[in-house]
Structure 1
Amino acid sequence: MIDLLRAAVPLFLAMIAGTVGSLVVTSVLGHHDTVTLAAFALVTAVLNPASAAVQGALRGLGPFVAPYRDDPGAAVPVVRDARWLSMVAGTFGALAVLSVPLLAGATGVPGEVVREMGALPWFLAVYLLVFASTGGTSTILVALGRPRNVLWPTLVYAVGLGGLSALLVPSLGLTGVGIAWAVSGVVAAAVAAGLLRRALGRPVGQARPRVREIATLARVSVPLAGTVLIKFGVLAVVTFAAGSTGARDTAAHAVLTTLTGLVMMVGLSVAQVSVPEVARATDPAGARRAGRTAALLAVMGTLVVAGLLLAFGQPLVGLFTADPAVLSRVLGLLPLMLLASVLDAAQAVRGFGLTALKRSSASLLFFAIGYGLLVVAAVPVARTWGITGLWTAMAVANGLLLVLQGAGFHRHSARVGAGDHVAG
Structure 2
Amino acid sequence: MPFRPLLSSAVPLFLSMITSMVGGVVFTIALGHHATESLAAFALSMAVLGPATAAVAGSLRGMVPFIAPHRADPAAALPILRDARWLTLTVGTVGAALVACVPLIARVSGTPAEVVEAMGALPWLLALYVLVFASSGGANSVLVALGRSRQVLWSSLTGTVVDIVLTFALVPVMGPSGAGLAMVVSALASTQVSVFCLRRVPGLGRFSQWPGRPRVTEIVRLARVGLPLAGTILIKFGVLAVVTYAAARTGLIGAAAHAVLNSAIGLLFLAALAVAQASVPEVARATTTAEVRRVNRAALILGLSGAGLGGSVLLLFGEWIFRLFTPDAAVQALALSLVPLLVVSTLADAAQAVMGFGLAGLKRSSWSLASFAVAYGLLAVAAHPVAATWGLTGLWVALIGNNVTLVVLQGSGFLRHSARLGDLAPAIPAPPARERAGS
TM-score bracket relative to the smaller structure = over 0.9
2:404 maps to a residue whose letter is: G
Aligned to 2:271: 266
**Which structure 1 residue ranges, 5 or more long, are not aligned?**
none
CA distance in 2, matches of 1:301, 1:330: 21
- Could you tell me how far 1:382 is from its partner in structure 2? 0.5
- Could you tell me how far 1:202 is from its partner in structure 2? 3.1
- Determine if the alignment matches structure 1 residue 303 to structure 2 residue 308: yes
CA separation of 1:422 and 1:245: change in aligned 2, threshold 3 A:
farther
Aligned to 1:339: 344
CA distance in 2, matches of 1:334, 1:92: 39
Aligned to 2:29: 27
- Could you tell me how far 1:422 is from its partner in structure 2? 5.8
Counterpart pick for 2:206 among 190, 197, 202: 202
Q: How many residues align?
A: 422
- Could you tell me how far 1:188 is from its partner in structure 2? 0.8
- Could you tell me how far 1:347 is from its partner in structure 2? 0.4
Return the TM-score normalized by structure 1.
Answer: 0.98
Aligned partners of 1:358 and 1:422 also within 8 Å? no
- Could you tell me how far 1:61 is from its partner in structure 2? 0.8
2:166 maps to a residue whose letter is: L
CA distance in 2, matches of 1:316, 1:163: 27
Aligned to 1:278: 283
Aligned partners of 2:85 and 2:211 also within 8 Å? no
Aligned partners of 1:11 and 1:151 also within 8 Å? yes
Aligned to 1:388: 393
Counterpart pick for 2:424 among 399, 406, 420: 420
Aligned to 1:249: 254
Worse overlay, 83-92 or 305-314: 305-314
Counterpart pick for 1:92 among 81, 91, 94: 94
SS in 2 for 1:318: helix
2:141 maps to a residue whose letter is: T
Aligned to 1:52: 54
SS in 1 for 2:143: helix
Aligned to 1:183: 185
Aligned to 1:351: 356
Aligned partners of 1:104 and 1:114 also within 8 Å? yes
Return the TM-score normalized by structure 2.
Answer: 0.95
Aligned to 1:80: 82
Aligned partners of 2:386 and 2:395 also within 8 Å? yes
Aligned to 2:143: 141
SS in 2 for 1:43: helix
Counterpart pick for 1:239 among 229, 234, 244: 244
Aligned to 1:108: 110
CA distance in 2, matches of 1:302, 1:265: 8
Deviations along 1:341-379, one digit per CA (max 9) or x if unpaired, are 110011000000000000000110011111111001000
Aligned partners of 1:118 and 1:175 also within 8 Å? yes
- Could you tell me how far 1:4 is from its partner in structure 2? 1.1
CA distance in 1, matches of 2:238, 2:281: 29
Aligned to 1:37: 39
2:5 maps to a residue whose letter is: D
1:249 maps to a residue whose letter is: G
- Could you tell me how far 1:421 is from its partner in structure 2? 3.7
Worse overlay, 10-19 or 183-192: 183-192
Aligned partners of 1:73 and 1:202 also within 8 Å? no
Aligned partners of 1:73 and 1:201 also within 8 Å? no
- Could you tell me how far 1:2 is from its partner in structure 2? 2.4
Aligned to 1:121: 123
CA distance in 2, matches of 1:30, 1:221: 36
CA distance in 2, matches of 1:127, 1:94: 8
Counterpart pick for 1:67 among 66, 69, 80: 69
- Determine if the alignment matches structure 1 residue 11 to structure 2 residue 13: yes
2:258 maps to a residue whose letter is: H
CA distance in 2, matches of 1:228, 1:46: 13
1:382 maps to a residue whose letter is: A
1:357 maps to a residue whose letter is: L
2:26 maps to a residue whose letter is: V
- Could you tell me how far 1:206 is from its partner in structure 2? 3.8
Aligned partners of 1:36 and 1:173 also within 8 Å? yes
CA distance in 2, matches of 1:419, 1:265: 33
**Which structure 2 residue ranges, 5 or more long, are not aligned?**
428-439
The RMSD of aligned alpha carbons is 1.1
CA distance in 1, matches of 2:218, 2:198: 21
SS in 1 for 2:350: helix
Deviations along 1:289-317, one digit per CA (max 9) or x if unpaired, are 11111111100111111111122211211
2:85 maps to a residue whose letter is: R
Worse overlay, 373-382 or 158-167: 158-167
